[in-house]
Amino acid sequence: MTEILNKLLDKNSLIFGFLLIAIIVYLSEVVAKKLGKGKVPGSALAILAGLVLAYFGGVHTNGEKGLSDIPLFSGLGVFGGAMFRDFTIVATAMGASYQVMKKAGRIGLISLLVGVVLFFVTGVAVAWVWGYRDAVSLCTLGAGSCSYIVGPVTGAALGASSEVIALSISAGVVKAIAVTVFTPIAAKYIGLNDAKSAMAYGGIMGTSSGVAAGLAATDPKLVPYGAVTATFYTGLGCLLCPSLFYIVVIKIIEIFS
Mean pLDDT per block of 10 residues along the chain (257 residues) reads 66 79 86 72 75 77 70 72 62 56 70 91 93 91 90 89 88 86 85 86 86 83 83 84 93 84
pTM: 0.72
Spell out the alpha helix ranges (H) of the chain. Answer: 2-11, 13-34, 42-61, 75-79, 82-91, 98-103, 105-129, 135-146, 150-158, 162-190, 195-205, 208-218, 223-240, 244-256
- On whether the CB atoms of residues 160 and 144 are closer than 8 A, the answer is no
**Total Cβ atoms within 10 A of residue 223:** 25
Tell me: the pLDDT tens digits for 116-160?
Answer: 999 999 999 999 998 888 999 999 999 999 988 888 889 988 988
- On whether the CB atoms of residues 51 and 43 are closer than 8 A, the answer is no
Kindly list the domain boundaries of the chain, sorted by start residue: 2-80, 98-256
Through-space distance between the first and last CA atoms of the chain, rounded to whole angstroms:
68
Amino acid of residue 39: K
pLDDT score, position 12: 75
Q: How many residues comprise the chain?
A: 257
220, 202, 209, 222: which is closest to 176 by C-alpha? 209
pLDDT score, position 94: 55
In Å, how far are 31, 55, 57, 70, 73 from 14, measured between CA atoms? 26, 21, 18, 13, 9
State the number of CA atoms in the 13 A half-sphere of 185 facing the CB.
11
